Amino acid sequence: MILMNIEHLHKAFGGLSAVLDFNAHLEEQELIGLIGPNGAGKTTVFNLITGVYKPDEGKIHFANQDITGLPPYEICRRGIARTFQNIRLFNDLTVLDNVRIALHKDVQYPLLSAVFRIPSFFKGEAEMEKKADEFLKIFHLYDKRYEKASSLPYGDQRRLEIARALATNPRLLILDEPAAGMNPNETAELMELIRSIREQFKLTILLIEHDMSLVMGVCERIYVLDYGQIIAEGSPEEIRNNKRVIEAYLGEEVS
């Protein structure tokens, strides 16, 4: 079943077309990679999907609904969550609060119940904390729940970002260079983690990554973007041998 369908997406910044006639579809529970040279427009595509930018043209359908041009928080509520290329945690807050904020959209008690501290507030808070703790345990961050997000080591911050995104209860998880700045060991661990959360939460995952071992290792299908256009699509094997992809990355052969 198709979870997301993107048709003729177009976005220009001034005279520069960052994304040009972008078409793609995501199957339910697929693990898809989006790769391309620097400046190809990959993050712009993510920003268009999640509502950070409004597309100039084109349609995005998600779970049979048109989500084109909705504000980001609405898109999140419909089941798309993401992480960022340059980590964007709530730095001054604790690890626990970072995850609890992602749970806020399903808050179980009304505002006045918080102000007057009636029982539904305590019940709602207790449930929220329990839920947040579950996510923190999956990502081995439970022991650090009261630490400030900014004080975590880099790898933990990356994982906390994924935990926070998962806490919004998405159907589609979008990861923007999750392995950036990680060493080979950490990358291997991350690959395992990505696979296991997909199974556990029945997720569709779309990721941008420059680390080819990760992309080729976990992705089932790959889109290759260059100058805002898709130049190739297929399985890792097909992409590896695609002439246009090799040209885009390494340049044309001089004859």
Q: Using CB under 8 A as the criterion, which residues of the chain lie in contact with another protein when the complex forms? A: 50-52, 71-73, 76-77, 81-82, 84, 88-93, 97, 100-105, 107, 109, 111, 114-117, 121-122, 124-126, 128-129, 146, 164-165, 168
Select 101 or 216, whichever has its Cβ closest to another protein.
101
DSSP 142: G
**In the complex, least distance from residue 136 CB atom to another protein, rounded to whole angstroms:** 13
Q: What are the backbone angles phi and psi of residue 223, rounded to the nearest 5°?
A: -105, 140
Q: Which is it for the CA torsion 216, 219, 224, 228, positive or negative?
A: negative
Select 90 or 227, whichever has its Cβ closest to another protein.
90
**CB 61 within 8 Å of CB 78:** no
Give the pairing of strands 229-234 and 221-226. Answer: antiparallel
> Nearest-5° angle of CA 203, CA 194, CA 82?
65
Select 101 or 212, whichever has its Cβ closest to another protein.
101
**In the complex, least distance from residue 113 CB atom to another protein, rounded to whole angstroms:** 9
Instruction: List beta partners, residue 167.
Output: none
**In the complex, least distance from residue 154 CB atom to another protein, rounded to whole angstroms:** 17
**In the complex, least distance from residue 108 CB atom to another protein, rounded to whole angstroms:** 9
Q: Which of 147, 166, 165, 197 is nearest to 87 (CA)?
A: 165
Select 2 or 126, whichever has its Cβ closest to another protein.
126
Select 2 or 107, whichever has its Cβ closest to another protein.
107
**In the complex, least distance from residue 33 CB atom to another protein, rounded to whole angstroms:** 21
**In the complex, least distance from residue 45 CB atom to another protein, rounded to whole angstroms:** 15
Select 109 or 227, whichever has its Cβ closest to another protein.
109
For helices 154-167 and 184-201, angle between their N-to-C axes, nearest 10 degrees: 10
**In the complex, least distance from residue 184 CB atom to another protein, rounded to whole angstroms:** 28
Select 2 or 118, whichever has its Cβ closest to another protein.
118
**CB 104 within 8 Å of CB 132:** no
**CB 92 within 8 Å of CB 177:** no
**Residue 201, exposed/middle/buried by CB under 10 A (0-12, 13-18, 19+)?**
middle
